[in-house]
């Protein structure tokens, strides 16, 4: 508990110091609980998520950084490796490939990379995975773009 708190505090200081280093990621720690964080990440360009801002929630276990943070999308997203209802993310570094060498910041970068490079062979969203697997890139992109517009962009007017 003490070790994880100390580590998270270091991450907090790093995030404050490097605020402008990565304009695609805004990591914010809960005011009253260092084990709860949220992040706003920018949809990567040249993907159907471009122009969207996606919110992630981080729930950090007491054994962090020996155990990975639990991360999920709060913003609805149509992506093969994200559960459409719960926002759960299928990413190896959040499961058994986790190591303390990762940080909350680098996890955000990995999630952005996953948005740009979906892995349709290990889908959590089968509809999305099946579109890609059957080669219907256009179908996948238009669905993903529609949900980006509906859920991840500011409403006009």
Partner 1 sequence: MANQAEGSPRKRKAIDGEIGMEASVTHTKQAAVAAEEALTGLNPKDGAGAGASSCWEVLPEEFEWSCYRDDDTLHQQAAIREEAIKIPYLGDREPLSALATEFELGSPILKEKIRLLGEQYVGLRRTRGDGNCFYRSFMFAYLEHILETQDTAEVERIVKNVEQCKQTLQSLGYTEFTYEDFFGIFMEQLESVLQGKETSISMEELLSRSRDQLVSDYVVMFFRFVTSAEIRKRADFFEPFIAGLTNTSVDQFCKSSVEPMGEECDHVHIIALSDALGVAIRVVYLDRSSCEKGPLTVNHHDFIPTAAAESSTAAVISTKCGEPFITLLYRPGHYDILYRR
111 CB-near residues (< 8 Å, 6+ apart): 41, 56, 71, 89, 91
Span of 24-32, 47-55, 97-105, 132-140 interacting with partner 1 by CB under 8 A? 97-105
The one among 61, 100, 146, 150 contacting partner 1 by CB under 8 A? 100
CA angle 117–122–128, rounded 5-degree value: 70
Looking at residues 137 to 156 of the shown chain, list those that interact with partner 1 (rule: CB under 8 A): none
Active site residues: 90
Per-residue binding string, partner 1, 14-43, x by CB under 8 A, is x-----------------------------
For residue 153, the minimal CB distance to partner 1 (Å) is 25
CB burial string 118-143: b at 16+ within 10 A, e below? bebeebbbeebbebbeeeeeeebbeb
The one among 81, 125, 128, 148 contacting partner 1 by CB under 8 A? 81
Strands of the sheet containing 36-42, edge to edge, are 25-29, 36-42, 53-59, 70-73
Contact footprint for partner 1 (CB under 8 A): 3, 6-7, 10-11, 14, 65-66, 81, 88, 90-93, 95-103, 110, 113-114, 117-119, 121-124, 126
């Amino acid at each position: 508990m003490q070790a994880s708190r100390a580590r998270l505090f270091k991450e907090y200081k790093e995030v404050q110091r490097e605020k402008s280093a990565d304009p695609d990621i805004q990591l914010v720690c809960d005011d009253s609980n260092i084990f709860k964080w949220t992040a706003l990440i920018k949809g990567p360009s040249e993907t159907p998520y471009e122009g969207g801002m996606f919110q992630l929630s981080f729930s950090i276990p007491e054994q962090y950084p020996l155990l990975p943070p639990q991360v999920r999308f709060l913003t609805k997203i149509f992506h093969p490796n994200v559960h459409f209802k719960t926002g759960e993310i299928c990413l190896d570094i959040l499961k058994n490939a986790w190591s303390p060498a990762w940080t909350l910041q680098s996890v955000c970068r990995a999630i952005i990379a996953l948005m740009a490079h979906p892995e349709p062979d290990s889908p959590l969203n089968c509809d999305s995975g099946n579109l890609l697997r059957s080669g219907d890139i256009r179908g996948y992109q238009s669905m993903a773009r529609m949900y980006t517009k509906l859920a991840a962009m500011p409403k006009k007017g």
